Each structure stands twice: as structure tokens, then as C-alpha cells.
Amino acid sequence: MNVENRLKVLQNLYVGVLVDSVRRYTAAGILDKVTEEKRNEQMGQGGQIVKSLNIRKPEEVFTVLAEITNCAGWKKAGSPEGVVMETGSCRLCALAKRFAADCPCHIYCLHPMEGMVKGLDSGSNFIVEETLWNGAKCRVRVD
């Protein structure tokens, strides 16, 4: 198996493991608690992560993670208000819906990205305007 195929297999396994953990946290009645605990950790680790990935701008948080995970294809949307990023597809969200899991968006996507954005600038606002879980796209504004 070549490196590209190995990477695709690992990306698919990664998404599957995340969905499985959401199902198990939900079954144990602890998804909200774990999500909040992880959010607090992610807010503290964001600066280290952006540094290790050589991320310098908020939009790079979205695009670099998309390159690594191949989960969502984030694109910059035209907006006069800060940086607005959108995606119309997400493998994590789609797989969670297919397996009747609860929403994985915050614990595994939005909160980690928020931590990274705030790691670049602690005064940044990270505003989730829409998610694919409940809407037609994910849309996040950073200002």
C-alpha cells in the first residue's frame, strides 16, 4: 500500500474512532461533561498547537486541519466582518448522523479550532453561525 492510501485509511479510521467515542460518551451520559472539560483543555493548548503546525492566521486553522484530516473542505467566504470560513460537507458529521450518534461538532472540531484561533490571538471572537448538524453548511466567523 502506498503512502497516500495509508493516509486515507488512517483518516477514515480517525473519523470512525471519533464517532464511536461520541456514541459511547452519550451512552454513558457524559458527552456534555467531557465536551466542556475538553473545551477547557483545548483553550489552553491552542497556542502550542498553532505553533507546532506553523499556523499564523485564523483561516489557516481551518485549512491546515482540513489538509491533515481530510474531513471538511473549509473555504474562506467573502465578508467585510473579520474572517468567515464555510464548508458544505463534513465526513465527521455525516458519519455521526449515519450511525445515529449525537453531535460531534463541538468536541472534535469547533472547540479545538476555537482554541487554536484564540492561541493566535486571545482576544479573538470565534462565532459559530451555523453547523451542518442542524443546517446546510458550517459557517464560522472570527473577528
pLDDT in tens, 86-111: 999 999 999 999 999 999 999 999 99
How many DSSP H helices and E strands does the chain contain?
6, 4
Distance CA 122, CA 106 (A): 19
- Interval 14-18 mean pLDDT: 96
Is the sign of the CA dihedral 134, 139, 142, 143 positive or negative?
A: negative
33-67 pLDDT, tens digit each: 999 999 999 999 999 999 999 999 999 999 999 99
Average pLDDT, the chain: 96
Q: What is the pTM of this model?
A: 0.93
Distance CA 107, CA 99 (A): 17
Evaluate whether 35 touches 106 at the Cβ level (below 8 Å): yes
pLDDT of residue 68: 94
pLDDT at 26 over 80: yes
pLDDT at 81 over 80: no
pLDDT of residue 45: 97
Cα–Cα nearest to 16, from 98, 89, 72: 98
Evaluate whether 108 touches 120 at the Cβ level (below 8 Å): no
pLDDT of residue 142: 97
Domains of the chain as residue ranges with CATH: 3-142 (3.30.1380)
pLDDT at 79 over 90: no
